[in-house]
Amino acid sequence: MTLPSSPVWFITGCSTGFGRDLARLVLDRGWRVVVTARDAARVADLVEGAEDRALALALDVNDAGQVRAAVAAAQEQFGRIDVLVNNAGYGYQASVEEGEEAAIRAQFDTNVFGLFALTRAVLPGMRAQRAGHVINFTSVAGLIGFPGSGYYAASKHAVEGWSDSLAAEVGPLGIAVTCVEPGPFRTDWAGRSLQQTPVRIADYAETAGKRMESTKQISGEQAGDPVRAGEAIIAAAEADTPPRHLVLGKFGFEAVTAKLKERLAEIEGLREQALGADFPA
């Protein structure tokens, strides 16, 4: 996909982390950007000195009225949206058995249904211009289920499967779809954007409990650089054929490739059982 000379990016979750760093990189290139957060005051500094190219908006992706208003404001200000980056979201950890219903549903509202709603609101404009790129932040957990992260992984797996269908539908219309799948990165995700239900069942202490504890402990020491990740995302957006998957970080790359090889070997090893499940020819 070839970006326009001054593309318009629309990025959610810009108050911290990946969203903030990516917004800065977009602005550094002289491009236009809509930066959003639930509290617009937390992204106001991003647009200072670039008011002709940047728009800061309040957006809670769970609020249908704010979704419609933010997309309308972007269209009114810039006339188009070329790249939508669905970055807003957060983590929830618990053993599967101890997951709390309200917390599980709240996470899906943001990570899944909010992302769906915003994308639906942006697609009419992209269809009309026969061009666009939808970039969905999932996670390595969107491809692998780790202990303690069952419900977070479920939310990210949901976005991955949905993105497959979206790509098949909008690809012929000139719209690309990419899922960004980071491993551990040095953002404040674990400190600010992670909720946990403590493990109290002793049987899960060495699986879910141990991983949940380690997630908190490594916060601030992760190997991944969010600025370098932002550069990789921009390169993907500029590619003639944008990737469907963009795994980021050494941990993520090694974990995902090992898991996919293991999965393929298992499926191929059961070839006879798979083919034998059909009616006889």
Model pLDDT for residues 37-52, shown as the tens digit of each residue = 999 999 999 999 999 9
The per-residue pLDDT for 224 is: 82
Amino acid at 183: G
Q: Does the pLDDT of residue 27 top 90, yes or no?
A: yes
Q: Does the pLDDT of residue 217 top 70, yes or no?
A: no
Residues in the chain: 281
- The predicted-structure confidence for 94-144, as pLDDT tens digits, reads as follows 999 999 999 999 999 999 999 999 999 999 999 999 999 999 999 999 999
Q: Does the pLDDT of residue 220 top 80, yes or no?
A: no
In this prediction the pTM is: 0.95
Active-site annotation, residues: 152
Paired tokens of 6: 């001054």
- Report the mean per-residue pLDDT for the chain: 95
* Mean pLDDT confidence for 243-251: 97
Specify the DSSP class assigned to residue 61.
Answer: T
Return left, alpha or beta for 278; rule: phi > 0 is left, psi -120 to 50 is alpha, else beta.
beta
Q: In angstroms, what is the C-alpha Rg of the chain? A: 20
Domains, the chain? 8-250 (3.40.50.720)
Please give the Cα distance from 249 to 247 (Å, whole number). 7
Q: How many CB atoms lie within 10 A of CB 236?
A: 20
Buried-state track 82-93, b at ≥16 Cβ within 10 A, e below 16: bbbbbbbbbbbb
Please give the Cα distance from 58 to 67 (Å, whole number). 9
* Mean pLDDT confidence for 131-160: 97
